[in-house]
A and B are shown apart, each in its own frame.
Chain A
Amino acid sequence: MEFLTDLVLLSNSTLRVATPLLLAALAGLCSERAGIVDIGLEGKMLAAAFAAASAAAVTGSPWAGLLAGIMASVLLALIHGYVSINQRGNQIVSGMAINILVAGLAPTLANAWFSRGGQTPLLGNEARFTEITLPLADTLSSVPVIGDVYSNVLSGHSMLTYVAFASVPVVAWVLYKTRFGLRLRAVGENPEAVETAGISVVLLRYQAMIIAGILCGIAGSSLSTALGAGFIRDMSAGKGYLALAAMIFGRWKPVPTLLACLLFAFVDALQGRLQGVELPLIGEIPVQFTIMLPYILTVVILAGFAGKMDAPKASGIPYEKNR
C-alpha cells in the first residue's frame, strides 16, 4: 500500500515538474521546425520567471505576472530571431549570449528593485497560480485506482500544468493540420522552396520565434508563479537544456517529445523523493548524486541515439536569399 501511495505521489510530482519542461520543449520544437536552433530556452525561461514573479509581486495578480513573463520571453525570442534571421549570426552563440545575459540581468534587476539579494518577494497564494481541484475530485477519491489517479494524480495542479498538456495537441494540430503548420515545417526543411513558392521565409521564422517565445514565457512563469512562489537566482537550473534534449529525444515531434519530457520529469521527481531515503542494499544515496540523475540521463539518451537523422534539414543554417 505504501508503494502505491509513493507511486501516486511520484506521478503527481512528475506532472508538476513536467510543466515547464514540456512547454519549453514545445517552444524549442516550434523554433527548430522553422529552422532556428534555440539553445536560449534556458535564458528565456529564466527571464520569464523573473518578469512574472516581479509583476505578480507588484500587482498581486498572477495573470499580470504571466503576461509580463510572456513579454520578456518574446522580446528575447525576437532578439534571437534578429540575430539568426537578419544578421545570419551563429545561433548557438546567440542563444548562449541570451542565457548569460539573463543570468546576470535578472538578479541585478531583482536586487535593484526588491533589495533581497537577487530574489523577488515571496508571493502569496493570491499572486500565484494555485492548485485547482478538478470537478468531482473529492467525491471520486474514494473509488479505488481510477478515483485515486483522478483526484490525486490528475487533479490538484495549477492551471499552467493543464495549459502545458493541452499545448501538445494544439501544437500538433497546428503543425500537421493547418496551412501555417505546413509552411512552418517546409521552412525548416528547405527555405528556398518556401521563398520561391512566394512565402516570406523571414516572416514565417519570426512567427515561429514569437510562438516559441510565448510557450517559453509560460514555461518560465510557471517556475516562479505556479511551482514556486517567487524568483530565485538560477531557478531554471538547466531545464532549458533538458527541454532541448527531450525535444531531440522526441525526434522533433510533439507527442514523442511529451513522452520524453515525462521521462525526464519522472527522473527529476524520483531524485527528489530519493533524497534522504534509505534504499535496500545501497543505503542512502548522497543528495549530490541524486541531483545528477536527470543530467546523466540526458547524456545517456543523447549517446544512445544519433538524432541528426530526424532533425529538420535547414535547422541552424542561416538562410541567405539571392544566393
Chain B
Amino acid sequence: MNAAPKISGVVSAIVLPLINLVVALLLSGFVVWLIGEDPVAALGFLIEGAFGYEEAIGYTFYYATNFIFTGLAVSVAFHAGHFNIGGEGQAMLGGLGLTLAVFWLGDVSPLLAIIGAIVGAALFGAGWAYIPAVLQAKRGSHIVITTIMFNFIASALLAYLLVGPLQRPGGQMPESSDYPDGIALTKADELLELVGISFEQSPLNVSFLIALFAAFAVWFLLRRTRFGYEMRVVGQNAEAAKYAGISVPKVTVIALMLSGALAGMMGLNELLGEQLRLIGNFTLGYGFVGIAVAFMGRNHPFGIVLAAILFGAIYQGGAELGFEMSKITRDMSVVIQGLVILFAGAMPHLFKRPIDALSARFKTRGNV
C-alpha cells in the first residue's frame, strides 16, 4: 500500500549525502560566526589548507588513510548488524601489537618486522574486539556500551604501559623507544620519486595503498564470498540466518573481529608510517570519525574511501584553520564531524521529500 520509492539510486546515494554535508558545513559556519570569526574566510582557509599545496594534499590523504581503516571497521560490523564503537580502543591495541612485533622482529629482518607489524596490528585489534563480540553473541550484552568501556580500558592500559614497561628508558613522555632504524613504511614522496614524479615531503605513506586494498577486500568479502553473504543475512535478519543454517553467534564474532582488525590496522599509518614509536592516545578520536565516514559513505567500501578523503580534508583543513584563526582550535573539526554524523548518518532522508518533489517537477517539465 505504501507509495513506491520515487527516488532514483543516484539521488539517494550521492545527492542526499551531499546536501546533508552542505547543511552540516553551513551549521559549522554558523558556529564559526558565533565565536566571532568570518565563516567564508574560514571555508577558504579550510579548502586551501586541505588541497592548496602538495604537502597539504599529502596530509589530507594521510588522515584519509586513518579514516578508511576506521570507516571500514564500523561498516563491516554494521553489515553484520552491530555497532562497533570500539574503534578507538581496537586501534590502540592494534598499535600495541604492531609495536611489540616491531621490537620483537626488528633485529631479525626489516621486511619480516613490517609483515609482523601488519599481522600484529590486525591480531591485537581483532583480539580487543573479541570479548565484546562474544559477550554480544552469547550473552546479548549491549555492544555499544561494552565497546565504549573497552575504549576507556584500552586507554588506561596503554597509559600504564607507556609510563611503565614500554616507556623509553630515561624518558618523561608517555611514549615508547623509537622503532629500530629502517623499519618504517615507505613515504609517498620516496615512492613517487621512483617513478620520476617529484612530490613534496608529507607523512603520506604506503599505508594509503594498504587501506585502498583493504577497501577492495571488504567489497570482495561482502559481495563475492559466501561468508560475506552470510554476514549480511545475519545483519539484516538473524531469524532468517538461523533458518538458513547460519550460526549467528559465530558470524557475529568473526565479523566483529574483522572489524577490530581493520581498526587495529590504523596504527600502520599513524605509527609505522609517521611517528615511528608508540605514543599514548595516538588515536585522537579517529575511531569515532569512522562512524561518520561509514554513514557518509553509505556503508559501501567505495563510498567510504570518498568519505574518508572528505574527512581527511576537513581534518587537515581544520588544523590549518586553527593556525590561521586565533579563536578556532582543532576541536572545530570534531564539531564538523558531529554535525555530519547527525545529518548524513542519523537523518539520511531529511531532504528526501523536497528533492523528490523537485525531481518530480523536473520530470513533468521534461515531458512537456
Interface residues of A (CB under 8 A from B): 39, 79, 83, 87, 89-90, 92-94, 96-105, 107-109, 111-113, 118, 238, 241, 244-245, 248, 286, 288-289, 291-292, 295-296, 298-299, 302-303, 305-308
Contacts and interface: CB of A to CB of B under 8 A. Distances in A.
Contacts of A93: 291, 295, 341, 345-346
5 contacts: A39-B144, A97-B339, A241-B148, A245-B149, A286-B164
B232 to A, nearest CB: 18
B135 interface: yes
Contact of A104 (B139, B333, B347): B333
Contact of A111 (B149, B159, B331, B334): B331
A90 B346 contact: yes
Given A39-B144, A87-B346, A308-B140, A291 B329 contact: no
B158 to A, nearest CB: 9
A-B interface, 7 closest residue pairs, ranked by CB to CB distance from nearest: A104-B334, A101-B338, A112-B35, A288-B160, A97-B342, A94-B346, A97-B341
Given A93-B346, A97-B345, A299-B146, A108 B152 contact: no
B149 A295 contact: yes
B241 interface: no
Interface string B266-289: 000000000000000000010010
B36 interface: yes
B67 interface: no
B116 interface: no
Contacts of B328: 108, 112
A103 B338 contact: yes
B146 to A, nearest CB: 5
B119 to A, nearest CB: 27
Contacts of B85: 96
Nearest to B335: A104
Contacts of B288: 96, 100
Interface in B1-60: 31, 34-36
A197 B78 CA distance: 36
Contact of B149 (A112, A241, A307): A241
B196 to A, nearest CB: 42
Interface string B309-347: 000000000000000000111011111111101100111
B329 to A, nearest CB: 5
A183 B140 CA distance: 28
Given A100-B341, A103-B334, A306-B139, A113 B83 contact: no
B156 A101 contact: no
Contacts of A241: 145, 148-149
B153 A108 contact: no
A108 B329 contact: yes
Contacts of B164: 286
Among B142, B164, B291: residue with most chain A CB under 10 A: B142
B168 interface: no
B25 to A, nearest CB: 14
B347 A89 contact: yes
Nearest to A113: B35
Nearest to B333: A104
B187 interface: no
A101 B332 contact: no
Contact of A292 (B35, B36, B153): B153
Nearest to B348: A89
Contacts of A94: 342, 345-347
B338 A100 contact: yes
B318 to A, nearest CB: 10
Contacts of B135: 299, 302-303
A31 to B, nearest CB: 15
B157 interface: yes
B142 A248 contact: yes
Given A87-B347, A295-B153, A92 B144 contact: yes
A288 B157 contact: yes
A53 B83 CA distance: 33
Nearest to B289: A100
B128 interface: no
B149 A306 contact: no
Given A286-B160, A288-B159, A296-B153, A105 B346 contact: no
